[in-house]
Amino acid sequence: MDKKTHDVSLMTSGLHVVLDIMNEVERVVTDELEVHPRFPDLHNRLGLIRFKQGKFSAARASFETAVSINRAYLTARLNLGYALLELGRSSEAESLFSEAPGKDARPHTLAGIACVRMKEGRLDEAASLFTEAAAYSPRSALYPHHLGIMCFLLGRSDEALAHLTEAGRLCPPYEEIFLESRLVSDGKLCPDAFREYVSQHELNPFLHELHDHLGHAYAANGLFAEAEAEYRLSVRAMPSLANYYGNLALIESAQDKEEESVVHLRKAVEAEPDSVKARISLGFEYSARGLAEEAVAQFEAARTLKPEYPDVRYNLSLLYIEMGRQDEAVEELRAALKVNPGYLFARNSLAFALFKRGELDAALEEYRKVVAGGLCSSDILVNMGIIQREKGTLDKAIDSFDKAVSLNPAYAPAYYQLGLAYQAKGQKEKARRAWKAYLERAQEDGELEDVKKNMTE
């Protein structure tokens, strides 16, 4: 299983070093949207870019589109609330925050309404709401941090310092940020430094996603200091240690410092054992290093945390297939397809696992669904042809192998299997021609000697 990149669009779109990388990231996202106009994540990302640029009406439009595509997209709904707040539409923003579904959204709801109160100048109410949010999420440094700001604005500097100290305890990068900003001197808050700090504060915590993407863009171009600076802004906006250490691991990996990368990913999991993202990232790293058992352990933990995530089950199934655990792979793939029947990559892997398990009819049926869904490749067609040949439908097998050759004339296995099919039909000359084409394209492998022997018979 290949290690998954954290931002495929940036890594594969020829991103170049530019003076204003924000504009380049916006271009990449816009280009992606032309190809995938129904991807809500892309609309949300574009909204974050426009939000950061101060284009709040445009940001609002992007977030509204994301929500219209996926009504359950909580982050986009909250981002829409923050955009409305910046546009002065406080009552609409508060309604959106209040309507956020699920108990997990409760602290975000309280924090959003607190920001509304802050904008309205009702600082005591804002502080009370942040206190309530902190009670819901006692492990999050976000709310003590915001409480520190509220207390400072209310003139309660000692309380502010106490809350900031708690934020630093929960999220050590905050301590470094406070030190660099020179917020404290002789055990007291420095008013001028803190006012400057507050003036740079981003009310919308979900801007951390944009800082992550900007950091990935810098790292992709070898600008590691700039990448780390963006990751610091990310952890300031949303103090997730799992996300922060995961980002640092990306920088290390980009510099081929694999050991350091693993250390950071382990720290991410230790900091937030419930982080599915951290588990998956560490799982991919283990897989890339050939540590299959360790990778499986991380993906199984992620599956336990989020059994409804088809991507987790799909990647776990790939590890099972590599390890020869076909029965478990089939179980995971069927579970993934139950959640998302249109997940063609999972269906293709299910077909392959069934094929390896000897369930030819079931495998062929899944392959047909894959091709009908628009996913087709030479290896898929070759596998279909092998099944058809095993079932004795030689003409259908030859047709599948011919299609594989047409799709990719350089794909050597298609010629080899085509030769076997012609041989089974007794058409020796056609078999020899197919094998000759195979020999012209094949690398050293187990079939070469067999083919050479068959051609001389």
Domains of the chain, CATH where assigned: 8-205 (1.25.40.10), 376-457 (1.25.40.10)
Residue 13 confidence (pLDDT):
39
Judge whether 239 and 140 are in contact, CB under 8 Å: yes
C-alpha span between 294 and 296 (Å, rounded): 5
- Is pLDDT at 99 greater than 50 in this prediction? yes
C-alpha span between 147 and 159 (Å, rounded): 9
pLDDT in tens, 268-304: 999 999 999 999 999 999 999 999 999 999 999 999 9
**Cα–Cα distance list, 319 to 92, 274, 275, 302, 340 (Å):** 47, 21, 20, 14, 20
- Is pLDDT at 12 greater than 60 in this prediction? no
- Is pLDDT at 232 greater than 60 in this prediction? yes
Judge whether 454 and 439 are in contact, CB under 8 Å: no
Residue 84 confidence (pLDDT):
98
- Is pLDDT at 11 greater than 80 in this prediction? no
pLDDT in tens, 42-93: 999 999 999 999 999 999 999 999 999 999 899 999 999 999 999 999 999 9
Tell me, letter by letter, the H, E, C secondary structure of 55-114: CHHHHHHHHHHHHHHCCCCHHHHHHHHHHHHHCCCHHHHHHHHHCCCCHHHHHHHHHHHH
What one-letter code names the amino acid at 227? A
When the pLDDT of each residue in the chain is averaged and rounded to a whole number, the result is: 92
The angle formed by the CA atoms of residues 389, 429 and 437, to the nearest 5 degrees, is 75
C-alpha span between 416 and 241 (Å, rounded): 52
For the whole model, what pTM was predicted?
0.81
* Residue from 340, 337, 339 nearest 351 by CA: 337
Residue 405 confidence (pLDDT):
96
- Is pLDDT at 455 greater than 60 in this prediction? no
